[in-house]
RNA sequence: GCGGAUGUAGCUCAGGGGUAGAGCGCCUGACUGUGGCUCAGGAAGUCGCGGGUUCGAGACCCGUCAUCCGCCCCA
């Protein structure tokens, strides 16, 4: 038999999956719109050079490249790529269309991205990101609003317990410098540090040593982190480090009174992988998922990489499938999402009734019902069983008697009752019955 | 990219060298204008794929692919 699974790391979404995904997307959109963000969509495919060099070495490796076509095919070179995230395409859009866009541009974008990563729990090769970004301002109001919007979306989806970890790239740099770690080791040190919540302080200490960080530097680094955690003065920070700390204070002040306030948690060990971040960085976590539900930060230099014109920017990205994994496991979806393809199914006793079924279905649709016509004159029991199996609450029965009189018998499957109406009145009767059962 | 586990009927799984199994689902009938309950019957699997060992392989060996769990990284 031919293989029928989708390609590795890719998934089919069956009707129930689509309804769940759309439910989450609708909630997130509603919240983002409430903060004045506007929708944006960009192509699945970007020019390869647009993406290269924006995500760090590891990121570059994971980009899905598209080989040249036609005459260029033989060269084996790639010139296009599937988008790896929504942030770099946004920066390209802002650089390209800056004259048409407002000075302060707030946009959201919910679209799939592709990464040639190894699939794992909550990790796929095609997945949706729900991004919100604001460009054109360096104010801490931006960070605070992004955190507030994300927190609102989480709360509205039904998450009560979650944290938004907060840190600052320049604070990290300053801290590493103050600890005597040379710049060439900064990347390695940040990777080790970022794992602290997973492998513990001792694990980080070991990994730092493996990566060539001197023991006294590591000691100094841990001391600085400890001081930051305790909100105590940190020795040896340079000016940018001090400014970064002040920036974090300002963000927290602005977030007061929002849903984010209670969830914000300063975490000096948070580093985040993407190389384009320049300021505050954020990450949303819940207890029962090892990775993050989403993350973001400030990237003031990214637009400049395309246009030469520096436009400050800051954004946040929620991972749709991460949210879905947790919501599925916890059973957080509203009962109204249960899949019922129709409100009523029209069934006939013989093929001569089918044209009448079509006509009656049309009347019912005009009345506002979702109507499925059973297409074959199967045994009536089989037809009713199909309707019951699909969760369709009503079956409209058309036999010779009903057709002769212009009637239709409406059977309520749950109540095990049935009533005959005139065909023109049946739709209204079913609507009424649907309302009563809630 | 590395380590571990698992691939048997539509689904969940049992069988660990000698005739391919169960539960659920599906189909038919009891019940020729009515679903769920009950009863009787039925269909369905080259046991992930390729090689090897053996008189004989679903089982043992090698390879491969897929899935899951860790690591790495990330949404």
Q: Averaged in consecutive runs of 10 residues, what is the pLDDT profile of chain A (438 residues)?
A: 70 83 95 97 95 84 87 85 94 94 96 86 85 96 97 94 93 91 85 78 82 87 88 87 95 96 91 84 84 90 91 94 84 79 93 95 96 92 90 94 95 92 96 84
**Å from the A302 CA to the B66 C1':** 39
**Å from the A382 CA to the B21 C1':** 30
CA A243 to chain centre: 32
Distance CA A36, CA A32 (A): 7
Spatial CA neighbour of A31 closest among A110, A148, A115: A148
**Å from the A415 CA to the B36 C1':** 12
Contact A122, A105 (CB under 8 A): no
> What residues have CB less than 8 Å from A391, skipping those under 6 apart?
A338, A339, A340
Q: What's the pLDDT at A282?
A: 94
Q: What's the pLDDT at A40?
A: 97
Strands across the sheet containing A264-266: A38-39, A105-114, A126-135, A313-319, A294-298, A280-285, A163-168, A264-266
Distance CA A254, CA A195 (A): 29
Q: What's the pLDDT at A2?
A: 55
Residue A291's nearest nucleotide, by CA–C1', is B74
C-alpha radius of gyration, chain A, whole number: 28
**Å from the A4 CA to the B48 C1':** 12
Q: What's the pLDDT at A3?
A: 62
Residue A128's nearest nucleotide, by CA–C1', is B75
**Å from the A348 CA to the B41 C1':** 28
Residue A380's nearest nucleotide, by CA–C1', is B34
Helix axes A320-330 and A15-34, enclosed angle (nearest 10): 120
**Å from the A240 CA to the B41 C1':** 82
**A393, burial (CB in 10 Å: exposed 0-12, middle 13-18, buried 19+):** buried
Answer positive or negative: Cα dihedral of A137, A177, A186, A209.
negative
Number of Cβ atoms within 10 Å of the Cβ of A78: 14
Distance CA A282, CA A428 (A): 52
> What residues have CB less than 8 Å from A254, skipping those under 6 apart?
A140, A141, A143, A144, A145
Residue A382's nearest nucleotide, by CA–C1', is B35
Contact A318, A37 (CB under 8 A): no
**Å from the A330 CA to the B24 C1':** 25
**Å from the A373 CA to the B44 C1':** 29
Q: What's the pLDDT at A380?
A: 93
Helix axes A196-210 and A186-194, enclosed angle (nearest 10): 150
Residue A55's nearest nucleotide, by CA–C1', is B74
Please report, for residues A112, A221, A346, A357, the alpha-carbon distance to residue A375 in angstroms, rounded to integers and kept in the order given. Answer: 37, 72, 9, 9
Helix axes A140-157 and A239-254, enclosed angle (nearest 10): 50
Cβ-count burial A362-384 (b if 16+ within 10 Å, e if not): ebbeebebebbbbeebeebeebb
Closest residue by C-alpha to C1' distance, nucleotide B48: A3
Number of H helices, E strands in chain A: 16, 16
- What tokens does A184 get? 């060439």
Residue A385's nearest nucleotide, by CA–C1', is B35
Distance CA A360, CA A430 (A): 13
> What is the 8-class DSSP label of residue A180?
T
Domains assigned to chain A: 15-330 (3.30.930.10), 340-436 (3.40.50.800)
Distance CA A437, CA A434 (A): 5
Q: What's the pLDDT at A35?
A: 97
- Rounded to the nearest 5°, which phi and psi values hold at A94? -65, -40
Q: What is the ipTM of this complex?
A: 0.81
Residue A198's nearest nucleotide, by CA–C1', is B71
Beta bridge partners of A290: none
**Å from the A239 CA to the B57 C1':** 73
**Å from the A8 CA to the B59 C1':** 29
Distance CA A282, CA A167 (A): 6
**Å from the A5 CA to the B60 C1':** 30
Q: Which nucleotides of chain B does any protein CB come within 7 A of?
A: 1-2, 26-29, 31, 33-36, 46, 65-75
Residue A124's nearest nucleotide, by CA–C1', is B75
Contact A192, A204 (CB under 8 A): yes
- Rounded to the nearest 5°, which phi and psi values hold at A433? -65, -35
Strands A371-373 and A344-348: parallel
């Amino acid at each position: 038999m031919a293989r029928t699974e989708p390609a590795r790391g890719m998934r089919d979404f069956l009707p129930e999956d689509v309804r769940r995904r759309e439910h989450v997307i609708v909630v997130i959109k509603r919240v983002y719109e409430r903060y004045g963000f506007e929708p944006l969509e960009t192509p699945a495919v970007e020019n390869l050079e647009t993406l290269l060099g924006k995500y760090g070495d590891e990121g570059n490796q994971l980009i899905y490249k598209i080989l040249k076509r036609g005459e260029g095919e033989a060269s084996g070179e790639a010139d296009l790529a599937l988008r790896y995230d929504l942030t770099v395409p946004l920066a390209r859009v802002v650089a390209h269309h800056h004259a048409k866009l407002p000075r302060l541009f707030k946009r959201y974008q919910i679209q799939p991205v592709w990464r040639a990563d190894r699939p794992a729990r909550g990790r796929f090769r095609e997945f949706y990101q729900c991004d919100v970004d604001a460009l054109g301002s360096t104010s801490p109001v931006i960070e605070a609003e992004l955190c507030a919007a994300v927190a609102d979306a989480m709360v509205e989806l039904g998450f009560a317990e979650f944290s938004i970890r907060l840190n600052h790239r320049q604070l990290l740099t300053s801290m590493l410098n103050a600890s005597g770690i040379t710049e060439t080791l900064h990347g390695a040190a940040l990777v080790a540090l970022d794992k602290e919540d997973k492998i513990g302080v001792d694990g980080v200490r070991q990994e730092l040593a493996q990566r060539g960080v001197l023991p006294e530097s590591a000691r100094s680094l841990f001391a600085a982190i400890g001081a930051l955690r305790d909100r105590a003065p940190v020795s040896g920070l340079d000016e940018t480090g001090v400014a970064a700390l002040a920036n974090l204070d300002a963000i927290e002040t602005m977030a007061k009174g929002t849903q984010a306030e209670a969830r914000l948690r300063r975490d000096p060990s948070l580093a985040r992988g993407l190389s384009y971040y320049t300021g505050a960085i954020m990450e949303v976590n819940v207890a029962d998922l090892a990775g993050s539900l989403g993350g973001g930060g400030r990237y003031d230099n990214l637009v400049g990489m395309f246009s030469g014109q520096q436009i400050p920017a800051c954004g946040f990205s929620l991972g749709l499938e991460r949210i879905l994994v947790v919501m599925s496991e916890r059973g957080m979806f509203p009962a109204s999402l249960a899949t019922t393809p129709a409100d009523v199914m029209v069934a006939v006793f013989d093929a001569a009734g089918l044209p009448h079924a079509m006509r009656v279905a049309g009347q019912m649709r005009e009345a506002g019902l979702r109507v499925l016509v059973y297409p074959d004159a199967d045994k009536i029991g089989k037809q009713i069983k199909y309707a019951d199996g699909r969760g369709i609450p009503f079956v409209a029965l058309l036999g010779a008697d009903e057709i002769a009189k212009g009637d239709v018998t409406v059977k309520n499957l749950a109540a095990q009752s049935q009533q005959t109406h005139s065909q023109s009145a049946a739709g209204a009767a079913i609507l009424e019955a649907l309302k009563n059962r809630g």
